[in-house]
Structure 1
Amino acid sequence: MAQTWLPLLVAVVGVIGTLSAALMTQIRADRVKLLEIDSLRGQHAEDRAHDERMRALELADAREQRAAAHRAEAHARLRACCIAFNTAARHYQTAQISVLHGLRAGVGVNECVEALEEARTAFRASYAEAQMLLPDPVLAAASEVSRRLNDDYGALKRSLTDAPRNPAPPECEQRVQSAWTVLTDLRRTMRRDLRIDDPAP
């Protein structure tokens, strides 16, 4: 009887071994497949995170480029405004000095006065623009120049009214000539603001 059971037992053990080996192989294959899927998910998540980081960097770079372009454009506008105002102020001052020379020489006074009026109009237009664009420290210097040149203009016009064709009083001439000082201060302030010169004196 034992002989009958022994081959049967061996066959059952063999079948169980074969089935369990197949089952274990399948379990291992499933486990490997799950690990691969988890690895792919992790890789996809890393790829998405990397793509988002790259997009964020590209957006930040584009924003910085736009900001840099805006700063450059604003600086160019400010520079153009400073040049225009400085030029208009110097023409206004030069026109005043031309009137003084005309009075001293006794010729060409009317032409010089016409040129002065044109220079004054151009200066006023330039100053109006400067009031909108210049930063406070530069605007303070520009306002000082405007006050000084307009005061000198008033003194010059009074001397023309009081004594046409006569030389202007010496104090008027000295005042008009000395306005170069405020124009020089304005130029220095503008150059410092535009970072053309070292801010140190």
Structure 2
Amino acid sequence: MDWTNVAVASITVVGTLGGGIVTQVFAIRSKRIDTKAQRDNRAEELRELTRKEATDEKRTVYASLNTTAHSCRTAIRHHLDDKCGGHTPDLAKLEAAREALRDSYSRAQMVVSDRALDFASEVNRSLDVGYRAAIDIDANDAVAVAALYGFVDDSLGFGVRVLRRAIREDLGIEPGADADLDGHLVVLRSNRHEFVRKDTSDTATHQLDALG
């Protein structure tokens, strides 16, 4: 009887201890699972916050690029109007508009897609051509003035609109890749090259005429 009692007591003790250990093991495991779930949730929240910040930054940069490109074209047009209208143009305003575009373009280079950057780069180059031509233009040269007005009104105006479409596409506002945009980019580049060639040719002609 004594050994039987001892055996029963031992079994009871072992069962009690074993149950406590099993309960503790499950508690520790459950705590580890909860900790991992919380860690995963925090990591996902951080990734989502990072994605949102990147998207917000891209939208801010694109808005600045669109605004400064439009403002630069307008400043070129006003400078040309003043110069050819017999008024003294405000060079500081033109310089400020061009510098603002340079800053926006530099920021955009860090965040835009390669496709959108193609358009931003071409429009930036075209505006730079218009900017320099407006500064150098001889207001008494009717042919050169007419050509520059055509470039500013048609090509640069078209370029700013195309850039806006490319930006909207890259942000997912416009549906899918627009094949027309690729064709527009070719036209913009061709217009710039044609204007530069014509402007260079006219300058050389004037220099030859001056030499007699």
TM-score band by shorter chain is 0.7 to 0.9
For 1:157 and 1:200, the matched residues in 2 are separated by 37
* Partners of 1:99 and 1:116 within 8 A in 2: yes
In the alignment, is residue 45 of structure 1 matched against residue 25 of structure 2? yes
Could you say which residue in structure 2 is the equivalent of 1:138?
116
**d(CA) in 2 for partners of 1:144 and 1:109?**
30
For 1:119-198, what aligned pairs fall within 5 Å after superposition? 119-159=97-137, 162-163=138-139, 169-178=145-154, 179-198=156-175
By how many angstroms is 1:54 displaced? 0.6
Tell which structure's C-alpha radius of gyration is larger. 1
Match of 1:63 among 7, 22, 43: 43
Deviation of 1:29 (Å): 2.4
Higher relative contact order (CA 8 A, sep 6+): 1
Are residue 108 (structure 1) and residue 84 (structure 2) matched? no
Which residue in the other structure is 1:5 paired with?
A: none
1:3 corresponds in structure 2 to: none
User: Which residue number corresponds to residue 75 of structure 1?
Assistant: 55
**SS in structure 1 of the partner of residue 89 of structure 2:** helix
What is the CA–CA distance in structure 1 between the aligned matches of 2:175 and 2:13, rounded to whole Å? 69
Distance in 2 between residues matched to 1:166 and 1:181, nearest whole Å: 23
Q: Distance in 2 between matches of 1:32 and 1:170?
A: 106
Given that 1:103 and 1:167 are in contact with CA atoms closer than 8 Å, whether structure 2 keeps it comes out as: no
For the residues of structure 2 that align with 1:167 and 1:126, how far apart are their CA atoms? 33
The one-letter code of the counterpart of 1:108 is H
Q: RMSD of the TM alignment (CA)? A: 2.3
Aligned counterparts of 2:87 and 2:93: Cα–Cα separation in 1: 11
Distance change >3 Å, CA 165–CA 122, structure 1 → 2:
farther
Secondary structure, counterpart of 1:185 in structure 2 = helix
Question: CA 1:125 to 1:144, structure 2 compared with 1: closer, same or farther past 3 Å?
Answer: same
> How many angstroms apart in 2 are the aligned matches of 1:43 and 1:181?
74
Distance (whole Å) between structure 2 residues aligned to residue 167 and residue 97 of structure 1: 17
**Preserved contact between residue 83 and residue 89 of structure 2 (Cα < 8 Å):** no
Distance (whole Å) between structure 2 residues aligned to residue 173 and residue 91 of structure 1: 16
- Any unmatched runs of 5+ in structure 2? 179-212
Residue 93 of structure 1 aligns with an amino acid whose one-letter code is R
Note the C-alpha offset of 1:42: 1.4
Distance of aligned partners of 1:142 and 1:89 in 2 relative to their CA distance in 1, 3 Å threshold: same
Please name the residue that 1:14 is paired with: none
Q: Matches of 2:165 and 2:119 in 1, distance apart?
A: 10
- Which SS does the other structure have where 2:30 is aligned? helix
Shift of 1:95: 0.8
**Alpha-carbon distance between aligned partners in 2 of 1:117 and 1:165, rounded to the nearest angstrom:** 23
